[in-house]
Every structure is written in C-alpha cells, then in structure tokens.
C-alpha cells in the first residue's frame, strides 16, 4: 500500500512540475465550471414556482393548476366557452387553447427548445389528455409566448416574435374534489382579466384593484365565473377530460 502511495505522489509531483500540465488542468477545471454555470442558468430560466398561496392544496392539484398559470404573455389559461353551456368535451374545445395547455406543460418542464420533434408532442398529448385530440392536424405554425413555432413534417423549429396583449388573463384555484375511487378529480378555477391594474370578470364588471398578490384573489373573484376542469387518472397520472364554464350560484 505504501509503495502504491509513493508512486502516486511521485507521479503527481512530476505532473505538476511541468507548467503545461498545470495550465491544461486549470483549463479543464475552467471549462467544467463554465459548463456547470451555464446549466444552472438554463435551469433557472425554466424554473416555475406556483404562488405559495396555493400550498394548502395537494401536490397533484397544484401540478395540474400550474399548467394553467403564466401560459403566455396574455397571462393565464383562457377559453372561449359560454357560461352555463354545459360540460364541453375536448374535441369541442378550441385546438389552440389545448395547444397552449400542452406548451405550458412543456415550458414548465423545460422541454421547449429551438428544435423539437413531433414525437415529443405526441407523447405529451397522451400524458395530458384523455382522448386523442390530434391538436396539430392542419396547423403549420403556432404562437406561444415570445416564439413562433413552425411544424414541417416531424420537425418543429421556432423563431423569436414579439408577444403583446392589452389584457392579462388571471385565474385563481379555489377548490377541488375527488370521487370515491380517487380516479376522478374536479378542479374549480375562477376566471378574470386584468387591465390597467383593475380586475374584471368576463362580463366586463369591475372586481377591484389587483397588484399580483394571489391571497387577494379569493375575495376579488368571488363573483366571477369559473372553469371546472375534470381529470381522470390513467397510467398513474391525471389527464384532462372536459371543461365547463360556470356562473356563481
């Protein structure tokens, strides 16, 4: 053992006695540190943290709601469904809204890149939706946040665009329920929009001033309409089944 250690010490002494070896070692360490820094910065750019106001809800509920928050420069998830029009199946919902839901999931899981393939999209669709929605059938380009995505064959590329909106949609998770078998989850989410610091319901009624503090949304949105998202569990995860836009009773 002692002889082995002596050999290692001798080799190390000879190695560092040569300046080029020292410089090479410093260079390698520098490259590694830069790579670690880049990775950490990339991860930071893709980090998403739901407001602590929602920590009272179970993790599976928070994860589902997170897909509805900060979907684009327009704010939170928004659907053009008439209130009290009944439960709407996925194949009756606007494709672009469902694509926004899918892209929001990919974005929050740091999977959106300059170059992607449709295999990722198809796998993600199966993870998120209860039925085969064929979201990109007939769609060649799609705008999400500050990028325009182009679909060509099995390849997806993107380029920077300017995303602007006069209003910001705001949602607020205020309730959920399971069925007896715990394989169905209903999630109630208030719907409103923000303009010039004032929150409005979808009928353009003023709800009050809003400064971004989610703890105030329960009171502010108590008269607003709400979405009821219905999920069913499949292969260990909850998948979106339908949406209903409801008025307060």
Alpha helices in the chain (DSSP H): 2-16, 19-46, 59-66, 95-108, 118-128, 217-220
pLDDT at 66: 96
Residue 239 contacts residue 127 (beta carbons within 8 Å)? yes
pLDDT at 5: 55
pLDDT at 70: 92
CA distances from residue 190 to 187, 221, 244 in whole angstroms, order as listed: 10, 6, 12
Task: Kindly give the confidence (pLDDT) of every residue in the chain, 249 residues in length, as a single tens digit, with 9 standing for 90 and above.
Answer: 555 556 666 655 665 666 555 454 554 454 354 433 433 333 334 456 889 999 999 999 999 999 999 998 899 999 989 999 899 999 999 999 999 999 999 999 999 999 999 999 999 999 999 998 889 988 999 999 999 999 999 999 999 999 888 899 999 999 999 999 999 999 999 999 999 999 999 999 999 999 999 999 999 999 999 999 999 999 999 999 999 999 987
Q: Provide the whole-model pTM.
A: 0.78
Residue 78 contacts residue 203 (beta carbons within 8 Å)? no
pLDDT at 86: 93
pLDDT at 36: 35
Residue 100 contacts residue 72 (beta carbons within 8 Å)? yes
């Amino acid at each position: 053992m002692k002889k082995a250690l002596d050999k290692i010490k001798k080799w190390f002494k000879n190695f560092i006695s040569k300046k080029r070896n020292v410089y090479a070692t410093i260079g390698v360490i520098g490259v590694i540190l830069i790579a670690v820094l880049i990775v950490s910065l990339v991860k930071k750019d893709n980090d998403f943290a739901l407001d602590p106001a929602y920590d009272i809800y179970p993790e599976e509920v928070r994860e589902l709601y997170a897909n509805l928050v900060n979907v684009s420069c327009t704010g939170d998830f928004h659907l053009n469904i008439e209130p009290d029009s009944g439960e709407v199946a996925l194949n009756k919902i606007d494709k672009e809204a469902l694509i926004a839901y899918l892209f929001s999931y990919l974005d929050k899981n740091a999977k959106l890149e300059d170059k992607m393939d449709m295999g990722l999209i198809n796998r993600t669709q199966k993870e998120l939706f209860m039925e085969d929605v064929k979201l990109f059938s007939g769609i060649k380009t799609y705008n999400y946040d500050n990028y325009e995505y182009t679909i060509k064959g099995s390849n997806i590329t993107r380029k920077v665009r300017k995303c602007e909106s006069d209003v910001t949609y705001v949602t607020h998770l205020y309730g959920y329920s399971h069925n007896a078998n715990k394989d169905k989850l209903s999630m109630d989410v208030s719907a409103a929009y923000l303009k010039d610091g004032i929150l409005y319901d979808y009928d353009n009624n003023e709800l009050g001033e809003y400064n971004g503090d989610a703890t105030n949304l329960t009171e502010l949105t108590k008269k607003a309409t709400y979405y009821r998202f219905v999920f069913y569990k499949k292969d260990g995860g909850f998948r979106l089944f339908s949406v209903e836009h409801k008025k307060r009773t």
